[in-house]
Chain A
Amino acid sequence: MSEPLTESDLQHPDREALVRFMRGDLPRYEARDVVRHLLAGCPSCRSVTGAWWPVELAAARRANKVVSFEERAAQHDYRRMFERVGRDLAAREQVFGEERRATAGLSAELTALPAAERRRMALADSRFHTWSVVDALVEESRALSTYETAGAEGLARLAIDLAERLDEDRYSAASTFDLRARAHAQLGNVLRIASRFLDAQKAMDTARELLERGSGDPVERCRFLLLQAALHGERKRYEEAEGLLERVVVLAERTGERHLAGCALVTQGRLVQQRGDVDAAVELYGRGMERVDPSQDPRMVLVASHNLVHALVDWGRYREALDRMDEVRALHHRLGGRLDRVRFRWLEGKVYQGLGWLARAAELYDEARQAFVEEELAYDAALVSLDLATVFSLQKKDAEVRRLAEEMLPIFQSRLLHQDALAALLFFHDAARHEAATLGVIYEVADYLRRAQQDPKLQFRPSGQ
């Protein structure tokens, strides 16, 4: 290899050009000459450019920031700047206050219209192109997400379109990127709830890109990560989901956002419960519930309380589960939807079964079973039917097990259960017909259905065959 050039071989760029290059201000053709010169390894020029790279500054060590010696040496005086920004903010606060006050009327005007008309009007009329209206639409979409996904999707899409019309000079570009990111993330969440996972991920990818150009708001980031983790969870990417949730907990605690940390812990509890780590789930739910603020997200309190009881049941701690039932029942009455309440009946049945109160358990299972059949939720109906069969089997009511199996089959044949799930139910049906539906058979079929619900490609292989 030939020797690098010495000082005397080189024609140095002038110092100003080097500084401008490091500031990113040098025209392209001049930058090319500087790079060519630096490639030759000129020691004196790199001592100039090197001064613009980071030295170990404790607070910014990980930022890899570029900073000049001159700037570093200077004593920054921010006083005037703070005063100017403060004055500007006071003026903007007043304007924004007026905008906020107008929002309730504008929102009411919009929601009174049919969806298509609402959209046409909102896009055409600049009165609706404000931060507060977009924010309100996102919140409205969020509130509808669990109950009416189509409506929630329409609102999220409208929020996205309106957010693109926001005036960046009025609100600051970074803030508008944040809001656009939130609208896309909300759309992603609605699509996740509707089980359209690929579309949901696309929306989340867009949200992430926008967020990277946003204000750096840690709360916004936490909210995004929570939704992304929920989507990863649905797509069985549990490790990634848990990694994100751990980040949310750290970030939220650091920023004083206990509620968000609580939401992350509850979501994490659900994930670890799904993979069977029940004691970790109980601990996470407990920590989550200490932090979740009911005034911010009452449903999260309901979810955490319900799932905690569920985890206690999975763990066999029925007495503790029973102690919490009244509280959870009250929450369901106040906050739950119809299906939530059906699931609670099912859970109650599990608690009573665990405590040996079989007749009451059978009543509750039957009630839940009928509701799931009406709602055409085939897997849930099959699973609660098998719980009911367990109770009948414990009560030595073989005829009831047979009757149940015979009732189940035509219902599930007409629903969209996949082939192997039907094969599992047929297996149970045959066993019941021959009075051979032991607890072992019932548990085996139930366990398969539970796993097949997460993995529709899973094949049914009965033991002993």
Chain B
Amino acid sequence: MTVLDPSTETQGLPEVLIRVRPALERVLGSYDIPPEDAEDVLQDTYLTLLYKWEKVQCPEAWLIGTLRKKCIMYWRRKRKRICDAVDEALLDLITEPSRPLQENEDLCRDFERVLCRLPTRCRELLRLRYVLGLGPQEVAERMGYQPSSIRKITSRCLTVLTRELTTVGFLEPKE
């Protein structure tokens, strides 16, 4: 046979990077990664490929898949930072000792109004955490969750709460 199979030619890292660059630009663009942050994301991806070059069968698909995952992780980290800020703020607010009674009542009322918009299990969990001030293990015990999974569940509920706080605003619950 004299025909050549294009998939069998061995290519080095630089050639692969040149060929795959337009696809990588599209991935970064579609995930709206700001260029100043994209540099770190891309560098990490390239370096990982360099170290694992011998173990990767299809570098182009690998690069696109890994970069996509890194973009998702980038936004997930950003989201986590906001959720952490909300968590810290709520814990600070409920433990603030010197607040007048009326303000405390207002705070509880406002918090309850947000909770009303959330799914029942999240509502219960967040109430235990912020209103009763229980720690993660106690919350897990009360709600019948495995202690090992409470961190993830709390984090999910906190995301729902944060989104509710920062995006939707408050519509009164439907009767």
A residues 15-46 in Cβ contact with B at 8 Å: 21-24, 26, 28-29, 31-32, 34-36, 38-43, 46
Q: Which of A47-55, A109-117, A322-330, A435-443 contacts B (4 or more CB under 8 A)?
A: A47-55
Of all chain A residues, which has the CB nearest B12?
A93
Q: Contacts A32-B89, A52-B166, A219-B52 hold; do A89 and B111 have CB atoms under 8 A apart?
A: no
Contact call B66/A22, Cβ cutoff below 8 A: no
10 A–B contact pairs at CB < 8 A?
A32-B89, A32-B93, A39-B107, A66-B78, A78-B25, A78-B35, A82-B25, A179-B51, A215-B44, A219-B56
Q: Contacts A67-B75, A76-B28, A84-B39 hold; do A49 and B65 have CB atoms under 8 A apart?
A: no
- Cα distance A74–B29 when bound, in Å? 10
A223 to chain B, nearest CB (A): 9
Contact call A1/B167, Cβ cutoff below 8 A: no
Contact call A78/B89, Cβ cutoff below 8 A: no
Contact call A4/B65, Cβ cutoff below 8 A: no
Of all chain B residues, which has the CB nearest A63?
B72
Residues of chain B within 8 A of A215, CB atoms compared: 44-45, 48, 66, 70
B residues 80-123 in Cβ contact with A at 8 Å: 81-82, 84-86, 88-90, 92-93, 107, 109-111, 113-114
Q: Which of A38, A60, A72, A76 contacts B165 (CB 8 A)?
A: A38
B residues 23-55 in Cβ contact with A at 8 Å: 24-25, 27-35, 38-39, 42-48, 50-52, 55
- Cα distance A356–B61 when bound, in Å? 51
Q: Contacts A39-B165, A63-B72, A72-B32 hold; do A219 and B62 have CB atoms under 8 A apart?
A: yes
- Cα distance A220–B51 when bound, in Å? 12
Of all chain B residues, which has the CB nearest A53?
B167
Chain B contact-residue range equals 35 or more
Q: Which of A232-240, A254-262, A371-379 contacts B (4 or more CB under 8 A)?
A: A254-262
Residues of chain A within 8 A of B65, CB atoms compared: 218, 254-255
B85 to chain A, nearest CB (A): 5
Q: Contacts A22-B82, A66-B75, A78-B28 hold; do A35 and B93 have CB atoms under 8 A apart?
A: yes
Residues of chain A within 8 A of B21, CB atoms compared: 82
Chain A contact-residue range equals 35 or more
Of all chain B residues, which has the CB nearest A30?
B89
Q: Which of A36, A65, A72, A92 contacts B107 (CB 8 A)?
A: A36
Chain B residues in contact with chain A, CB under 8 A?
13-14, 17, 21, 24-25, 27-35, 38-39, 42-48, 50-52, 55-58, 60-62, 65-66, 69-76, 78-79, 81-82, 84-86, 88-90, 92-93, 107, 109-111, 113-114, 159, 163, 165-170, 172
Q: Does A216 contact B (CB under 8 A)?
A: yes
- Cα distance A67–B78 when bound, in Å? 9
- Cα distance A398–B35 when bound, in Å? 83
Contact call B167/A46, Cβ cutoff below 8 A: yes
Contact call A81/B39, Cβ cutoff below 8 A: yes
Contact call A41/B169, Cβ cutoff below 8 A: yes
Q: Does A147 contact B (CB under 8 A)?
A: no
- Cα distance A455–B32 when bound, in Å? 53
A334 to chain B, nearest CB (A): 23
Residues of chain B within 8 A of A38, CB atoms compared: 165-166
- Cα distance A426–B3 when bound, in Å? 68
Q: Does A108 contact B (CB under 8 A)?
A: no
Q: Does A2 contact B (CB under 8 A)?
A: yes
Residues of chain B within 8 A of A86, CB atoms compared: 14, 17, 46
Of all chain A residues, which has the CB nearest B31?
A60
Q: Does A172 contact B (CB under 8 A)?
A: yes
Contact call B42/A85, Cβ cutoff below 8 A: yes
Residues of chain B within 8 A of A54, CB atoms compared: 75
Contact call B72/A50, Cβ cutoff below 8 A: no
Q: Contacts A35-B89, A85-B39 hold; do A60 and B30 have CB atoms under 8 A apart?
A: yes
Of all chain B residues, which has the CB nearest A49?
B166
Contact call A256/B75, Cβ cutoff below 8 A: no
Q: Does A90 contact B (CB under 8 A)?
A: yes
Contact call B51/A175, Cβ cutoff below 8 A: yes
- Cα distance A189–B52 when bound, in Å? 21
Residues of chain A within 8 A of B74, CB atoms compared: 65
Of all chain A residues, which has the CB nearest B109?
A2
